[in-house]
Amino acid sequence: MEDERKPNAMWADEFGIVTGYMCLTDFECELGGASGGNCIHPSLEDFMKARPSCARECGIVEVKVYGVRVVQEPAEIER
């Protein structure tokens, strides 16, 4: 097995964790199963601006995200 590389997010804290905000309904009902993925916003303000009706109708959850390992490196571009 090759050496695994842990990803390093630009906005992570000292523990490698990034805080974000997402739709509470998406978190409770779709996270891990939605084929198109789920959106995580970088701030509460960004969430409220992008999805004001969702905030009222569904609610908002704060999430913590950290990378475990890189499963595929980017492909090299041939020149």
The model carries a pTM of: 0.79
**48-69 average pLDDT score:** 94
| pLDDT above 70 (res 1) | no
Question: Is 51 within the bounds of a domain?
Answer: yes
Question: Is 9 within the bounds of a domain?
Answer: yes
The structural domain count of the chain equals 1
Looking at per-residue confidence, does 28 or 1 come out higher?
28
Place of tokens 């009222």: 56
The confidence band for 2, taking pLDDT boundaries of 50, 70 and 90, is low
Assigned token pair, 37: 């993925």
Q: Which domain holds residue 31?
A: 1-70
Alpha helices in the chain, H assignment, sequence order:
24-29, 44-50, 52-57
Question: Is 78 within the bounds of a domain?
Answer: no
pLDDT in tens, 3-58: 788 888 889 999 999 999 999 999 999 888 888 888 999 999 999 999 999 999 99
d(Cα 53, Cα 51) in Å, to the nearest integer?
A: 6
Decide: helix, strand or coil at residue 57. helix
Question: Is 63 within the bounds of a domain?
Answer: yes
Question: Is 79 within the bounds of a domain?
Answer: no
d(Cα 64, Cα 62) in Å, to the nearest integer?
A: 7
Q: Is the Cβ–Cβ distance between 9 and 16 less than 8 Å?
A: yes
